[in-house]
Structure 1
């Protein structure tokens, strides 16, 4: 035995290929969804760290 599969009907091999490709699409979609959720979760944190424009203007007026 050389470790190769016996030549048989193409159906099971094709079905495994379809499963493999389908699993790849599902995993890719799940990863993209996870990244989108993480990005949305980071937006409020980033907006909280920014100074409002009126406080930036107040600092500029105090310096002048």
Structure 2
């Protein structure tokens, strides 16, 4: 042997590649959703503080 592994049909390798790409896509979507959630939460807190400050001023 010359150090190369015997490679079988391309089907299983392609399926593994598609699973890997799909998992990456799902992770990216999840990260983006989490960032959006945090951003909206921070904006909401900021708006609440501004609203409270405006109410305190006569």
Structure 2 SS opposite 1:8? coil
> Unaligned 5+ residue runs, structure 2?
none
User: Residue 49 of structure 1 aligns with which residue?
Assistant: 49
- Alignment RMSD, CA only? 1.9
TM-score of the aligned structures, taking structure 1 as reference length: 0.67
Q: In the aligned structure 2, how far is the partner of 1:13 from the partner of 1:39? A: 39
What SS class does the counterpart of residue 48 from structure 1 fall into?
A: helix
The corresponding residue for 1:35 is: 35
Count, aligned residues:
53
1:21 maps to 2:21? yes
Deviation at 1:44? 1.9
> Which of structure 1's runs of 4+ aligned residues deviate more than 6 A?
none
Q: Tell me, which stretches of 5 or more residues in structure 1 are unaligned?
A: 59-64
